[in-house]
Amino acid sequence: MIYKRSSELFAAAKEVIPGGVNSPVRAFNAVGGEPLFIKEAKGAYMYDEDGNKYIDYINSWGPLILGHAFDPVVNAVIEKAKKGTSFGTPTEIETTIAELAVSMVPNIDKIRFVNSGTEACMSAVRLARGFKNREKIIKFAGCYHGHSDSFLIQAGSGAVTFGTPNSPGVTQGTAKDTLLATYNDLESVEDLLKANQGEIACIILEPIAGNMGCIPPKEGFLEGLRKLCDEYDVLLIFDEVMTGFRLARGGAQELTGVDADIVCFGKVIGGGLPVGAFAARTEIMDYLAPTGPVYQAGTLSGNPLAMAAGLAMLTELNDNPEIYTSLAQKTEYLHKGIAEVLIKNNVTHTINRRGSMISVHFAEEAVVDFTSAAKGNNDTFKKFFHGLLENGIYIAPSAFETWFLTDALSYEDLDATIAAVDKVSKEL
C-alpha cells in the first residue's frame, strides 16, 4: 500500500502538534512507522488519505458499536445542530437520555454527563472520596481510567505502551493516595484493605479489563471484590467507559450480576461524540453540587449535539438487544478462525475474548493480569500489526489494546480478516 499523503500530513502535523497527534497511542510509536490519516469511514470500513480501504477493529477505540457514520446518529446530530450547538442551560434531551440510561443499567438512580471517560472517572473518585470522607483509593495495575493524576500509576493503554506509567507532573502527594493491586488477585486487595483500614474511599477497576488487551475477570473475582467492599465499608467503582452499553444493555453489571456503587461511562454512550458520564444510587449522586458538597461542573457537559448522538445510539441498542448476541457470535467466529490459522502456522499465542472485545497476545501462558500481558512478544506483535495493515486490516497499534467488533461487520469481513491473519502469520 502507498501511504504518501498520510506521510506528508504527518510531517505537517508534527510541526504544530506535539508528536503530530492529539492522543499519544495514535502516533504508532509502539509499532514503528507512521500513522495513517483517515479521510472518511462508513460501516465497518475506513478510508485513508491515500485512498486505501481498511476493515476497522479500532472502532475509534470503542464507541462505534454500530459502525462508522451510523445513519440515525448522524441524522440526529445534523438536526440538533441546526437548532443551536450549545446553550449553557438545561435542555430536555439531557433528561431523556438520562431516563433511558437509568432504565438500561441495573442499580443506578441518577446519572451526570461529562465530556470524556477521563472526566467521568476523575469525578467518580472525587465523589467517592467526598462521600466517604477518605483520601486513599485502590486501583489495579494495567487498568486505565483516563489520564487524570490519580490514575497515572501503572495505568494501561497508551501509558503502558510508552513505558512511562508514572508520568512526570504527577505529584508524590497524589501518587501516595493511589494504592496498587493485582488484577484477578483478591488477596492483593485484601492486604491493602487490612493495612489501610478506615482510609480507603473506593476501589476502581475495569470489570472486564480492556486496556492491557482484553482480560476477563476470573470466576469469583468481582463477587469477591463486592464482598470485600461491603466488609471494609468501601465503595466499588466499575469503570465501564469501555464495557458500558458494549457488552450488554446494562454493561458488565448485567453480564456478571455484580453490583457496583458507582459506574463510569464513556465511548458508546456518546455515539462517537465526546461524552462521559457517571452514575450511582440517589444517596451518592445527591452528594454532588448543587444538591451536595462535592463540586463538579462543565461548560459543555450535556451538550445538545453530544446528547443527540448518545440518545440515538442508546435507543438503537435498547430497541435491538439481539445485537449483543449477534456481536458475541461474530467475535467467537473470529476467535476460532484466528486461533485455527495461528495454530496451523505454529505461532505461540493466547486469545482473550468477552462479548465484542477480543485480543490476541503472543504469549505462552494465560494472560490474566498486567504482568502476564506484558510477557507477550512485542516484536511479533509489530510484524503482525504491520502485516495486517498492509492487507487492509486495521487493529490498534499496540499489543495492550483490545479489538472491538461492530455490528456493521459481515461474515465476509471476518473471513477476509482470518485470511489476512493466515497470510501474515506464515511470516511471523
Nearer of residues 60 and 378 to ligand PLP, judged by Cβ: 60
Closer CB to ligand PLP, residue 76 or residue 306? 306
**Least distance (Å) between residue 342 CB and ligand PLP:** 26
CA distance 304 to 85: 6
CB of 420: closest distance to ligand PLP in angstroms?
26
Instruction: Give every CB contact of residue 317 below 8 A, 6+ residues apart in sequence.
Output: 65, 66, 104, 245, 249, 268, 323
Query: Residues 309-324, buried b or exposed e (16+ Cβ, 10 A)?
Result: bbbbbbbbbeeeeebb
How far, in whole angstroms, is CA 74 from its chain's centroid? 22
Nearest-approach distance from CB 147 to ligand PLP, in angstroms: 7
Query: Least distance from C-beta 263 to ligand PLP, angstroms?
Result: 11
Told to judge if 267 belongs to the known catalytic residues of this protein, a careful annotator would answer yes
Q: Which of 57, 144, 324, 394 is catalytic?
A: 144
239 among known catalytic residues: yes
Can you tell me the distance from the alpha carbon of 297 to that of 306, in angstroms, rounded to the nearest whole number? 16
CA distance 25 to 386: 15
Residue 267 beta carbon to ligand PLP: minimum distance, rounded to whole angstroms: 6
* Angle between helices 322-344 and 411-425 in degrees, nearest 10: 20
Nearer to ligand PLP, 23 or 329 (CB): 23
Of 48, 177, 239, 407, the active-site residue reads 239
Nearer to ligand PLP, 121 or 152 (CB): 121
Binding site for ligand PLP (CB under 6 A): 116-118, 121, 144-146, 206, 210-211, 239, 241-242, 266, 276
Of residues 24 and 387, the one with the C-beta less far from ligand PLP: 24
* Residue closer to ligand PLP (CB basis): 24 or 210: 210
Angle at 328 between CA 324 and CA 329, to 5 degrees: 115
CB 172 → ligand PLP: shortest distance, Å? 24
Strand partners, 237: 204, 262
Rounded to the nearest whole angstrom, what is the least distance from the CB of residue 210 to ligand PLP in the complex?
6
* 144 belongs to the catalytic site: yes
Annotated catalytic residue: which of 132, 136, 139, 267?
267
Cβ 243 vs Cβ 210: under 8 Å: yes
* Edge-to-edge strands, sheet with 350-354: 350-354, 357-361, 403-404
CB 130 within 8 A of CB 293: yes
Q: Among all residues, whose Cβ is closest to ligand PLP?
A: 117
Q: What are phi and psi of 274, to 5 degrees?
A: -75, 100
Q: Which is nearer to ligand PLP, 131 or 144 (CB)?
A: 144
List residues with catalytic annotation. Answer: 144, 239, 267
